[in-house]
């Protein structure tokens, strides 16, 4: 039993006489260290009991008191009021057995008595008995009490969630009262545009130096971060072989938010090495997926916040190249780890795979905290001088006047979401990107497909390397060419999707092993090149939107596109080998859909600019 209990006592005018007597009893009891009077202070105080009961219960909930004793006319009203305080369990008890069980079975912290129900001597005896009981956390009742406590926590989380929504809507309403946006035809303030043009001269030596500096801070770090993200995402499959929000980012600093979630998911990856059941593994993998879901959209937003439209395609190609190289060599690296460390310290090799890659992820995240810049308006002056920051903002405002400074008004989350969801561009990009990602799930089956084409198991693993190698070169060349011809990104995407579609159709009717392998190489290159270019095309198209709307649009396109991986995982069942007609047939249809989406985007966007 805890020594020196802190008791808070309260009630109302109907229970004041008992309260005064029992307060003196508590003060003289050696088991009580202090008595806090929550009121009332006199029998003439007619304040409602609920005020005093809630005040007393809150002291217990906050840890300022250990227990509470509440006395009113019946003991019922004060119990009802006290139970409204989260985490409090208050009971009305007028006999010894009920008092005993309220503590031993229910771990109730608040005892309520009715002056009009029991005599003073019985009340004093019940209080004395009450002080002598202590809840046993190892008893059979503990599990039942925990259910109550868990429900309390769930309600608290839900309350915070709905409070956040209310605040967001309130912010949105405030902004809506101050400004309105024409989200389909982007309205540009001529004054702002002319000022940006007057201050900015493109192509100067200072700008070229700035772009090189931006590249130095962003591209290598972004590449390594995406590489670790991609390897962590696929290590569950490798382990099996051996033996798995941007709305916040617009209000935070990317140099803290992105490495932060990366550091946590690296820790979750390590934790997966110590799981003992399939259910735990699935739970950790879901948690890691939740954390990773904020990474890719955040990196896309950061890229589009530093580079001009005609500079983005090659940078997005660098971003995607991390995934390509991970596909080429990630499996070989995983094989080396699982075989080299198998049995070390009594642990299987696949568990070491999670430990090594998780630790590497956390290490990269720590470095990224110091290297990765924030948005131009709020990045560290240690990385860029004030003159460089001013130039970075001015050069983006040249042709993208919606780029704002740090102290300019921001859209609320809800308003930005509405603007994004009612913009037809968002939905066409969703369709196009879903087609690309759905078709690109082909990459997960490269070893299976190559083996089905006639190669042995070991050779099949090595024969996937040229597929990724060609895709790496084609993606890089596409990014460079698209930046030189930025007005034709939609047409380039349509062309690559058409190439992938034709390859898929031909594979369905040609069964020569060498011919199918060559077509697979071409199709993979076309899809990987389309992946990077589609993201830069979306980024530049959304660039004229308000910052918050652009963040949500990019995140929504990325999230919806990646949903295509769900059905893509079922395109190449083992029962279909070696022809896999269903898989390649579906991919040809997806590629056709993607080609149509991007050519429509090109036509519509070009028409908008003319009008």
Has 494 been annotated as catalytic? no
- Six-digit token string for 96: 């010894």
CA dist 562 and 572 (Å) reads 18
* 386-392-394-400 Cα dihedral, nearest 10 degrees: -150
**E-strand spans in 44-136?**
67-72, 90-92, 110-114
Size of the chain in residues: 611
The residue whose two tokens read 């932060």 is 260
180: left (phi over 0), alpha (psi -120 to 50) or beta: beta
Of the residues 72, 494, 508, 591, only one is catalytic, namely: 72
Q: How far apart are CA 305 and CA 255, in angstroms?
A: 14
Measured in whole angstroms, how far is the alpha carbon of residue 468 from the centre of its chain?
29
The whole-angstrom separation of Cα 282 and Cα 266 is 16
Phi/psi at 476 (nearest 5 deg)? -65, -45
Backbone φ and ψ for 91, nearest 5 degrees, come out as -130, 150
Where are the alpha helices (H) located in 243-311, listed in sequence order? Answer: 254-272, 278-292, 295-304
Instruction: Say how far apart CA 240 and CA 506 lie, in whole Å.
Output: 33
Within its chain, how far is the Cα of 328 from the centroid? Answer: 28
* Strand pairing class (90-92; 32-39): unpaired
- The catalytic site residues sit at 72
């Amino acid at each position: 039993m805890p020594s020196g209990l802190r008791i808070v006592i309260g009630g109302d005018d109907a229970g004041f006489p008992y309260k005064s007597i029992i307060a003196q009893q508590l003060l003289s009891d050696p088991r009580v260290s202090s008595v806090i009077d929550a009121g009332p202070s006199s029998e003439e105080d007619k304040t409602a009991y609920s005020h005093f009961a809630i005040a007393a219960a809150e002291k217990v909930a906050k840890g300022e008191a250990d227990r509470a004793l509440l006395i009113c006319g019946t003991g019922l009203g004060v119990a009802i009021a006290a139970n409204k305080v989260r985490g409090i369990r208050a009971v009305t008890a007028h006999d010894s057995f009920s008092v005993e069980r309220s503590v031993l079975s229910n771990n109730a912290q608040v005892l309520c008595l009715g002056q009009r129900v029991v005599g003073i001597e019985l009340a004093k005896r019940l209080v004395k008995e009450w002080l002598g009981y202590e809840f046993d956390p190892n008893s059979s009742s503990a599990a039942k009490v925990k259910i109550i406590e868990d429900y309390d926590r769930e309600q608290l989380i839900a309350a915070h969630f709905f409070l956040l929504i209310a605040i967001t809507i309130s912010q949105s309403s405030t902004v809506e009262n101050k400004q309105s946006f024409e989200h389909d035809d982007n309205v540009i303030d001529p004054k702002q545009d002319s000022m940006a043009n007057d201050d900015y001269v493109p192509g100067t030596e200072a700008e070229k130096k700035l772009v090189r500096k931006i590249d130095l801070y962003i591209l290598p770090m972004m590449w390594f971060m995406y590489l670790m993200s991609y390897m962590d995402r696929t290590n569950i499959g490798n382990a099996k072989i051996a033996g798995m929000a941007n709305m916040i980012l617009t209000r935070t600093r990317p140099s803290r938010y992105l490495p932060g979630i990366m550091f946590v998911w690296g820790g979750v990856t390590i934790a997966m090495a110590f799981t003992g059941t399939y259910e735990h593994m699935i739970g950790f993998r879901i948690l890691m997926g939740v954390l990773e879901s904020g990474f890719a959209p955040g990196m896309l937003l950061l890229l589009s916040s530093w580079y001009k439209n005609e500079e983005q395609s090659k940078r997005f190609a660098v971003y995607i190249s991390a995934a390509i190289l991970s596909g080429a060599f990630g499996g070989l690296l995983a094989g080396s780890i699982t075989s080299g460390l198998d049995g070390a310290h009594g642990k299987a090799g696949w568990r070491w795979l999670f430990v090594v890659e998780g630790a590497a992820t956390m290490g990269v995240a720590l470095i990224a905290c110091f290297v990765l810049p924030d948005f131009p308006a709020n990045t560290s002056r240690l990385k860029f001088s004030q003159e460089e920051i001013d130039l970075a903002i001015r050069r983006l405002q040249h042709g993208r006047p919606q780029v704002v400074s740090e102290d300019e008004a921001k859209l609320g989350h809800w308003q930005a979401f509405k603007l994004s969801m009612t913009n037809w561009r968002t939905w066409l990009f969703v369709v196009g990107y879903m087609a690309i990602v759905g078709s690109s799930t082909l990459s997960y089956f490269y070893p299976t497909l190559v083996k089905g084409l006639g190669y042995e198991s070991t050779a099949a693993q090595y024969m996937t390397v040229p597929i990724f190698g060609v895709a790496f070169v084609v993606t890089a060349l596409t990014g460079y060419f698209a930046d030189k011809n930025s007005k034709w990104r939609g047409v380039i995407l349509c062309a690559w999707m058409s190439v992938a579609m034709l390859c898929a159709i031909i594979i369905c009717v040609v069964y020569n092993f060498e011919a199918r392998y060559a077509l697979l190489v071409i199709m993979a290159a076309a899809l990987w090149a389309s992946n990077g270019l589609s993201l830069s095309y979306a980024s530049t198209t959304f660039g004229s939107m308000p910052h918050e709307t652009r963040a949500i649009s990019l995140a929504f396109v990325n999230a919806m596109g990646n949903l295509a991986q769900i059905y893509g995982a079922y395109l190449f069942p083992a029962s279909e080998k070696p022809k896999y007609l269903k898989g390649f047939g579906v991919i040809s249809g997806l590629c056709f859909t993607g080609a149509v989406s991007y050519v429509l985007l090109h036509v519509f966007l070009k028409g908008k600019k003319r009008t």
